[in-house]
Amino acid sequence: MFEIEMFTGAFIVLVIVLLLSMFRVLREYERGVIFMLGRFYRVKGPGLIIIIPVLQQMVRVDLRTLVMDVPTQDVISRDNVSVQVNAVIYFRVVDPERAIIQVENYLEATSQLSQTTLRSVLGQHDLDDMLAERDRLNDDIQSILDKQTEAWGVKVANVEIKHVDLNESMVRAIAKQAEAERERRAKVIHAMGEAEAAEKLAEAAKMLATEESAIQLRYLQTLVEIAGDKSSTIVFPLPVDIMKKFTS
């Protein structure tokens, strides 16, 4: 009699445990991928769901946007410059069924694919592109990753290259190149100024050549400017044209 009571009590406890294990609560950003005897059954959630013990199993999937750091990668650019690049990826699961069935671990798969894609894309560009056109490179990497991960039910929303690190010798070389470029621009601007000044002087000379009186007035104006100095003795040449005017 005692053994029957013990068995009955254990059976009741087991039934209660099984009944409690049937109920699962999924948050708003979670979905449950349900398998019936190993075969895919359906996706449930969010809220309260019922799982048949033993017959059904559930795998939770987070639908929120995940942030993943891509470890620093050694990249050789198209112009044979060795750099170290790291990035950050924003992605989320849009199809829980494919994210669980089509790939063993979608987080690890996305991470590995991001590393290889980062090296592949940046290796096709020059160092100047990596430094000056990050937005375009980010878009290229994001587009490639999104196409690859679509089969896994994963949507890559954004890719951002964080750092492009150069060795010290390359930093010095870039600094010298920038300094040389500034000197070149300064010389070009100076030459353009000289050319404009020469052009204006030529125009002024042509204009003065048409009027003799204009040349004489300009000469007298120059004398007035010289006389304004503190020097007490002024020696200046006397043009022949002016002397002809006096002799005539």
Co-location of 187 and 239 in the same domain? no
Domain residues for 87?
Answer: 66-166
Co-location of 152 and 87 in the same domain? yes
Q: In the numeric block, which tokens belong to residue 11?
A: 């059976």
Q: CA 222 to CA 228: how far, in whole Å?
A: 10
Helices (H) and strands (E) in the chain, counts: 8, 8
Co-location of 155 and 79 in the same domain? yes
Co-location of 189 and 239 in the same domain? no
Per-residue pLDDT, 61: 95
Co-location of 75 and 118 in the same domain? yes
Place of tokens 């979608």: 106
- What mean pLDDT comes out for the span 180-206? 80
- Is residue 131 within 8 A of residue 81, CB to CB? The reply is no
Co-location of 144 and 180 in the same domain? no
Give percent above pLDDT 70 in the chain.
75
- Is residue 203 within 8 A of residue 190, CB to CB? The reply is no
Co-location of 141 and 181 in the same domain? no
- Compare 153 and 21 and report the one with higher pLDDT: 153
Co-location of 201 and 218 in the same domain? no
Using 50, 70 and 90 to split pLDDT, how confident is the model at 91?
very high
Per-residue pLDDT, 187: 83
User: Per-residue pLDDT for 204 more than 60?
Assistant: yes
Co-location of 78 and 149 in the same domain? yes
Q: What confidence tens digit (pLDDT) does each residue in 48-85 have?
A: 999 988 889 999 999 999 999 999 998 988 888 888 99
Using 50, 70 and 90 to split pLDDT, how confident is the model at 200?
confident
Per-residue pLDDT, 122: 92
Q: What confidence tens digit (pLDDT) does each residue in 103-155 have?
A: 999 999 999 999 999 999 999 998 888 888 889 999 999 999 999 999 999 99
- Is residue 114 within 8 A of residue 145, CB to CB? The reply is yes
- Structurally, the chain folds into a number of domains equal to 4
Per-residue pLDDT, 244: 57
Co-location of 189 and 235 in the same domain? no
Per-residue pLDDT, 26: 93
Computed over every residue of the chain, the mean pLDDT equals 82
CATH of the domain at 135: 3.30.479.30
User: Per-residue pLDDT for 210 more than 60?
Assistant: yes
Co-location of 88 and 154 in the same domain? yes
Question: Is the overall model pTM greater than 0.75, yes or no?
Answer: no
Sheet holding 39-44, edge to edge: 39-44, 30-36, 56-62
Q: CA 142 to CA 155: how far, in whole Å?
A: 10
Co-location of 75 and 34 in the same domain? no
Start-to-end CA span in the chain (Å): 158
Using 50, 70 and 90 to split pLDDT, how confident is the model at 20?
confident
Q: CA 9 to CA 16: how far, in whole Å?
A: 11
Per-residue pLDDT, 182: 76
The burial class, CB within 10 Å (0-12 / 13-18 / 19+), for 199 is exposed
- Is residue 46 within 8 A of residue 27, CB to CB? The reply is yes
Q: CA 155 to CA 152: how far, in whole Å?
A: 9
Q: Which of 24, 40, 61 is the last residue of a domain?
A: 61
